[in-house]
Structure 1
Amino acid sequence: MAEAKKIFQTKTTPEIAEFLIGMYLEHRLPDGSRLGGWIVDCEAYLGPDDEAAHSYGMRRTPRVRAMYEEAGTIYLYTMHTHLILNMVTQKAGLPQGVMIRGLEPDPASVPQMIENRGGKSGPTLSDGPGKLIAALKVTPDFYGQSIFTSDLHLVPKKRRQAKQILRLPRIGIPNKGKWTELPLRFACAGNPYLSNQKKTAVVPDHGWQ
C-alpha cells in the first residue's frame, strides 16, 4: 500500500487515473466477507479549473466537502439515484479526483454480486459507475473515509497490468468547451466491463498481460 500512497502523493491526477487501471478494489463487508474486482475504466477530474468537476472554481458545498481532504479520501455522490465512487488524488485543499467507471469482478465475488444486482450478470454486472457500486454493496457511509485504510480499499498486491490503456474523452460531459474533449478517461483496451463497450472490441484475455 505504501507504493499506492506515494503515487497519490506525488503524481498528477491523470497519472493516478492511469495507475488505477488494473488496481484491485475490495469491499470488506460487516460479516467479514469480501467483494472485489479490477478497475478497468476511470476518469480524471481536475477541479478547480475543470468545468465538469463538482469543485470547479473552488466550489464549496456540503456535498463536495470530502474533495478538499487529503489524497485517498473517498468522495461519494448520488446521480440519478446511483451512488458514484471517486477518490481524491491531490493534497488537502486541491480538489481533484478520479471517478471509477468500470470494474471487472473477481470470479470469487460474482455470485454475490449477481445477487446484489438483482440477477444481472455478464458485463452489465459492473460496466458502469453506479452498477459497480451496487455490485460491491458500497454504502454512503464511506464518504470521507480513506481508500487506503477503510473497509473499502485498494489491494495493490492483486493489481493487474493492462496490455494497452486507452485515453479517451470522458462520458456525458457536454458543452464544457475543451473539457468535453480532453482525453481524461482511461480504460483497459478490450475489456468487456468498460462503459459503452462495443462487443467487437472485446478480446479473449480481457486486455490483461
Structure 2
Amino acid sequence: MSPFLKVMQLFLLMTATVLGMFVLLLVTPDLEDSILAAMRRYHHNRHLTTPHPEAKRRNSISFTGGGMVVELDRRKKEFSPWPNSKDCSRFRIQFARRKSLPMTALVSFPGSGNTWLRYLLETSTGVFTGSVYTDRQIISKGFYGEAVPPDCGCTSVQKTHGFALAGFVPHEKKKSAEVALFNGRAVLLLRNPYEALLSYRNFLYG
C-alpha cells in the first residue's frame, strides 16, 4: 500500500473515531468544573504540601473541592516532578486510595498530545493518571499510574485510544461496551487531524 493510501486510511479511521468520541462526550457527566475546583482546593490546602507532624501517622489524606472528594494514599510510591526547584520541590504526585475514584477515560487519537495532557493533569492536581496500556518508557519518567490496572480507582483518568487503531469500524455492541467500561465518563482530547496524523507518523517511523 502506498504512503498516500496509508495516510488516507488513518484519516478515515480517525474521522470515525472522532464521531464516536462526540457521541461519548454527549453522555459524559460534566466533570470539568469538579476537576478545576479540586485543583484550586489542592493548591490552597497547606497541609497537602506541608503536612502537619501528626499527618505522618495517617495512611491517607483527603481534600474536597467542587463536590469531589479525593483521598490520597500516602503508603504508595510518589513522584516529585520538580525536585531541583526551590519553589516547587515540595510538590508531590500521589495515588488516590484504591477504589476511591471512578474510571474516567482520557480519549484521543494517537498523536493528539495525550501524554502531555496527562503531565499537566498530574502536576496541577497531584494525582497520578493511568492508562489501559503499559508503556514502560514513560513509567521510567515518573508516570507511575501507567503501571497499575486502569480500574484500580486510584488514578484520575485513564488513557485510551479506543478503536482508533483497530483498522475497522467496530460493531455497535463493542462501542457500547467501551462506553460502559468507563460508565460513560470521559475527557475528550481533540487535535487538528492533520497535525495528529503527522505526529503519529513520526512516532511510528521516526
Greater helix share, 1 or 2?
2
TM-score by length of 2: 0.25
Which is higher, the Rg of structure 1 or of structure 2?
2
TM-score by length of 1: 0.25
